[in-house]
Amino acid sequence: MTEKPIYLLAIESSCDDTAAAVLENDKVLSNLVARQHIHEAYGGVVPELASRAHQQNIVPVVDAALKKAGITKNQLHAIAFTQGPGLMGSLLVGSSFAKSMSIALNIPLIAVHHMQAHIFAHFIDEPGFDKPTFPFLALTISGGHTQIVKVTDFSTLEIIGETTDDAVGEAFDKTAKILGLPYPGGPLIDQFSKEGNPKAYSFTKPKVDDLDFSFSGLKTQILYFIQKNTQLNPNFVEENKTDICASVQHTIIEILMDKLNLAVKQTGIHQIAIGGGVSANSGIRQTLKDAEQKYGWKTYIPKFEYTTDNAAMIGIVGYQKFLAQNFESSSVVSKARIEL
């Protein structure tokens, strides 16, 4: 006899994307994101504008996700939402919505940690994508985080390395800003890199102890490099954009790979999963793929739609918590900062 399926609605609103997904057990029935383009004009996310846009987007996005999944709200068994970390005003829109819906439908409410969700996105049932087996190392790289996490099981996660200043996504976005590219610049640097020579320019890699990272020095180095060269040739950036992007991206990938190699050496764990918005980067994806042959690792690269912020990843953690009956009351609070 087959068990009755669990239908779960997941909401993600930690930063500037309003996202909703519907899952049937560990399968994604719908996964929609309303991107907020309003921030592009400001060169970064404006928190006040983000929460206002979430308020406008959340009802239509949830409606569309239910419709696309072919599910009515009365069929839902639980609602999961992002508790943190993130922008408080943004988080509150998602949590208030999830709370009211769980009260109205009288179904359980599940709170999810955003960075855990980036890690466990690999457990979404997707044809052609293997799920990691425990223990594995997760490299979580996003606009706000850069961490190496030792994952022993669904509830045992240990941060064994993290950035001491900027996140890797910020390194991409700030470089893009220096080059005059719009926010978020990560995807554009990726695109230009494909046409450029990664060895055209060399940047010094930061010396940071153990498994920790630092990206602020690299950003300053790039700023001075661009200023110096633009003084000599005002068209320097325009004429060499692809080579600059490829060289910066190459340096960032080397920094990440050096630390991953050290983490493998220290832990003896050869299974590596990447997650977070920066794991959309084609250079990083290819390097990780090549590492299987080069180092004998088993690497897990998420499906593209589960890399940048999305609600399906909140849903998969929600599903695990549903199975563990790990529910919250409606007094649960959103947290801008929250331990992994």
> Interface with Zn ion by CB under 5 A: which range of 66-74, 129-137, 141-149, 179-187?
141-149
- Please state the φ and ψ torsions of residue 112, each to the nearest 5 degrees: -125, 140
* C-alpha to C-alpha distances, 2 to 5, 155, 204, nearest whole angstrom: 9, 27, 58
Out of 309, 311, 314, 315, the residue judged to bind Zn ion by CB under 5 A = 309
Total number of residues that touch Zn ion (CB under 5 A): 2
**173 touches, from Zn ion, ligand KG4, none (C-beta below 5 to 8 Å by class):** ligand KG4
What span, in angstroms and rounded, lies between the C-alpha atoms of 115 and 209?
23
Cα three-residue angle 2-320-332, rounded to 5 degrees: 130
Closest residue to Zn ion: CB criterion: 142
Q: What angle do CA 14, 17, 19 make, to 5 degrees?
A: 90
CB 1, min distance to Zn ion, A: 39
Asked if 94 is part of the footprint of ligand KG4 (rule: CB under 6 A), the reply reads no
Residue number of the CB closest to ligand KG4 reads 277
* Stretch in the footprint of ligand KG4 (CB under 6 A) among 90-98, 236-244, 278-286, 288-296: 278-286
Q: Which helix (H) or strand (E) holds 211?
A: none
Query: By CB under 5 A, is residue 173 in contact with Zn ion?
Result: no
CB of 32 to ligand KG4, least distance (A): 15
- Return the SS3 of 327: coil
Specify the stretch interacting with Zn ion by CB under 5 A; choose among 174-182, 282-290, 297-305, 307-315: 307-315
Please state, in angstroms and as integers, the Cα–Cα distance from residue 182 to each residue in 1, 53, 144, 206, following that order: 54, 20, 18, 26
CB of 253 to ligand KG4, least distance (A): 10
Locate all alpha helices (DSSP H) within 153-235, ordered by sequence: 168-178, 186-193, 216-232
CB of 15 to ligand KG4, least distance (A): 5
DSSP 21-63: EEEETTEEEEEEEEE-GGGGGGTS--HHHHHHHHHHHHHHHHH
Tokens matching residue 87 = 């922008």
Nearer to ligand KG4 (CB atom), residue 215 or residue 297: 215
Q: In angstroms, how far apart are the furthest CA atoms of the chain?
A: 75
Positions 160 through 199 that interact with ligand KG4 (CB under 6 A): 169, 172-173, 184-187, 190
Task: Please say which residue, 107 or 168, places its beta carbon nearer to Zn ion.
Answer: 168
| Nearer Cβ to Zn ion (183/201) | 183
Should residue 16 be labelled a site residue for Zn ion when binding is judged by CB under 5 A?
no
Specify the stretch interacting with Zn ion by CB under 5 A; choose among 28-36, 186-194, 233-241, 308-316: 308-316
First to last CA, the chain: 38
Inter-residue contact 300 to 130 (CB < 8 Å): yes
CB neighbour class for 268 (10 Å; exposed up to 12, middle 13-18, buried from 19): exposed
Question: Residue 156, exposed/middle/buried by CB under 10 A (0-12, 13-18, 19+)?
Answer: exposed
- Indicate which of ligand KG4, Zn ion, none lies near residue 311 (CB less than 5 to 8 Å, by partner kind): none
Residues in the chain: 340
User: Smallest distance, Å, CB 234 to ligand KG4?
Assistant: 27
Of the listed pieces 142-150, 164-172, 214-222, 325-333, which binds Zn ion according to CB under 5 A? 142-150
Q: Which of 57, 83, 142, 163 binds Zn ion (CB under 5 A)?
A: 142
- Indicate which of ligand KG4, Zn ion, none lies near residue 184 (CB less than 5 to 8 Å, by partner kind): ligand KG4
Query: Total residues contacting ligand KG4 (rule CB under 6 A)?
Result: 19
Residue 278, interface with ligand KG4 (CB under 6 A)? yes
Positions touching Zn ion (CB under 5 A) are: 142, 309
Positions touching ligand KG4 (CB under 6 A) are: 15, 142-144, 169, 172-173, 184-187, 190, 276-278, 280-281, 308-309
